[in-house]
A = this chain, B = another copy of it.
Amino acid sequence: MKNNTNIDNQEDKIGKNFVFDENSCPVTATMKVLGGKWKPILINAIYLTAPARFGELKRSVKGITQSMLTQQLRELEDDGLISRKIYAEIPPRVEYTLTEFGLTLSPIMQAMAKWGEEYRINKQKA
């Protein structure tokens, strides 16, 4: 739960003048990569249907628009989570796959999925 790098500085124990800074929070960094409406779904979809084609994703991811799909795929690619393979064919074909690094998200996604389910149960009671 220690998500502030200042924590490493033993001089600066959690005292009255300790400061929590968003820029040094690695959880926030992860959220930026996984955040937004489509990222988790897309990662999951690509994981389960790899190699995933653009048109397939457009059909299978309910409600996503073409521009959103392109944009999100670019961001995932820039973050090194997915790889994009272009086939010089007519009609054009592009396939997306999770990279090795993208696969390292697996335990986090699983933990989040499990927690999310418990959260729903918890909310229904409240």
Contacts and interface: CB of A to CB of B under 8 A. Distances in A.
A112 to B, nearest CB: 4
A62 to B, nearest CB: 5
B123 A80 contact: yes
Interface residues of A, number: 60
A63 B20 CA distance: 9
Given A30-B116, A113-B27, A119-B29, A21 B62 contact: yes
A9 interface: no
Contact of A3 (B27, B40, B49, B126): B40
A111 B119 contact: no
A91 interface: no
